[in-house]
Amino acid sequence: MASKQQRLSTGAPLNINMSTVSRATGSRNYQCNKSDIQNTKEGLGACGWFLVVLSYILCVMTFPFSLCVTIKVVQEYERVVIMRLGRILSGGAKGPGLFFILPCVDSVTKVDLRTVTFDVPPQEILTKDSVTVSVDAVVYFRICNPTISVINVENSGNSTQLLAATTLRNIL
């Protein structure tokens, strides 16, 4: 007897419209402008400047050992978003090259700009003629703006994977 389950495979890409994604997930489509991520003109304040100066003094006092902690290497396919006391340094994402990071004051997030692929788990659906069809997908994505990716999403890879699975489930 023939199997009721058939595997459907296609080489055509699935283009997802953002309005479809918004309806499928119930989320809002936020538009980010450069004004959303620019530093405010308030500065660090007295306590912030004290911590920065203290961190510089600590780096100078422990000079040979502090090189391992303060120098970060960013590859050609990466960008780094440096936050000083929770605020993005001027210029946004930086890279590639060598960067000086103040310990205890700066936090660094590396973002990979290469295209990432992952498989969406197969979804089984029942067609009109009562045949079970298993549909799976492959998602290709890459980050175009690392600063917005770091600020707006905690884990962009996992979020994209969950969004793709939800969208595939809701479209079918």
Q: Write out the DSSP string of 151-168.
A: HH-S-HHHHHHHHHHHHH
Q: Token digits for 12?
A: 């055509």
Instruction: For 82-142, give the DSSP string.
Output: EEETTEEPTTSSB-SEEEE--TTTEEEEEEE-S-EEEEEEEEEEE-TTS-EEEEEEEEEE-
The per-residue pLDDT string of the chain (172 residues; one tens digit each, 9 = 90 and over) reads 444 444 444 444 444 444 434 334 444 444 444 544 444 445 778 888 888 888 888 888 888 888 888 888 999 999 999 998 888 888 888 889 999 888 888 899 999 999 999 998 888 888 888 888 888 889 998 999 999 989 998 888 899 999 998 888 888 7
Taking the CA atoms of the chain, what radius of gyration do you get in angstroms?
23
> What CATH code would you report for 115-172?
3.30.479.30
pLDDT at 42: 57
pLDDT at 79: 93
Taking only the tens place, the pLDDT of each residue in 90-126 is 888 888 999 988 888 889 999 999 999 999 888 888 8
Residue in this structure with the two tokens 């994402």, named with its chain if needed: 93
pLDDT at 25: 40
For CATH 3.30.479.30, list the domain ranges present in the chain.
Answer: 115-172
pLDDT at 24: 40
> What sign for the dihedral angle of Cα 108, 143, 91, 64?
positive
